[in-house]
């Protein structure tokens, strides 16, 4: 099984069908696939991100650009 990185807290998350996930379209947020910032999984025209829990998912959906900014450092839980 593969793993992705939770962009909010930096935790490794197992990629599975019941994982908490959200999809960002690159047309909405080009930063999502910047080189070296690839934390999610590429998926037709966008990037799918995985989260360790509901809190991180909601934070991310609130303000995705903040967590995908090159200057953002995951703070851990």
Q: Quickly list H helices, 1-77.
A: 54-62, 64-68
Of residues 24, 56, 57, 68, which one binds Zn ion by CB under 5 A? 56
Q: Which residues contact 12 (CB under 8 A, 6 or more apart)?
A: 3, 4, 5, 6
Of residues 4, 7, 9, 40, which one binds Zn ion by CB under 5 A? 9
Size of the site for Zn ion (CB under 5 A): 6
57 is a site residue for Zn ion (CB under 5 A): no
52 is a site residue for Zn ion (CB under 5 A): yes
Q: Where on the chain is the footprint of Zn ion (CB under 5 A)?
A: 6, 8-9, 11, 52, 56
């Amino acid at each position: 099984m593969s793993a992705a990185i939770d962009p909010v807290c930096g935790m490794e998350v197992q990629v599975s069908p019941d994982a908490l996930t959200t999809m960002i379209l690159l047309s909405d947020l080009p930063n999502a696939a910047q080189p070296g910032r690839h934390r999610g999984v590429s998926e037709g025209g966008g990037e799918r991100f995985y989260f360790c829990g509901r809190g991180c998912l909601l934070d991310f959906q609130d303000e995705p650009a903040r967590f995908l900014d090159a200057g953002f450092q995951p703070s851990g839980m």
